[in-house]
Amino acid sequence: MELYVRRAEAFLQLGDFQSAAVNLQKACSGSDPSGEHIELLATTYYLQGQSLLEQKCPMDAMECFTRAAELQPQNRHYRMHSICCLAALGRYAECLGLLNKQLEEEGGNPDLYIVRARLYDHLNKTTLTYQDTQRALFLDPQHQEAIKMKAKLVAKAEEAKDKAVNCAVQGQLHDALQKISYAIENNPSAGGYHIFRYSVSIYNVMKGL
| Of 57, 59, 64, the residue nearest 79 (C-alpha) | 64
Which has the higher per-residue pLDDT, 58 or 30? 58
pLDDT at 27 over 50: yes
Q: Phi and psi for 25 in degrees, rounded to 5? A: -60, -40
pLDDT tens for each residue of 178-187: 999 999 999 9
Q: Give percent of the chain with pLDDT exceeding 70.
A: 98
Q: Average of pLDDT values for 195-199? A: 93
Alpha-carbon gap, residue 131 to 180, rounded angstroms = 18
The C-alpha angle 138, 129, 100, rounded to 5 degrees, equals 80
What is the pTM for the complete model shown? 0.75
Q: Give percent of the chain with pLDDT exceeding 90.
A: 62
Q: Average of pLDDT values for 132-140? A: 96
pLDDT at 124 over 60: yes
Distances (CA, A) of 95 to 2, 52, 71, 117, 120: 38, 19, 21, 12, 11
pLDDT tens for each residue of 32-85: 788 899 999 999 999 999 999 889 898 999 999 999 989 998 888 888 888 888
Alpha-carbon gap, residue 194 to 58, rounded angstroms = 43
Domains and CATH numbers, the chain: 1-106 (1.25.40.10)
Alpha-carbon gap, residue 39 to 120, rounded angstroms = 34
* HSE-CB for 171 with a 13 A CA cutoff: 2
CB 164 within 8 A of CB 186: no
Alpha-carbon gap, residue 185 to 130, rounded angstroms = 8
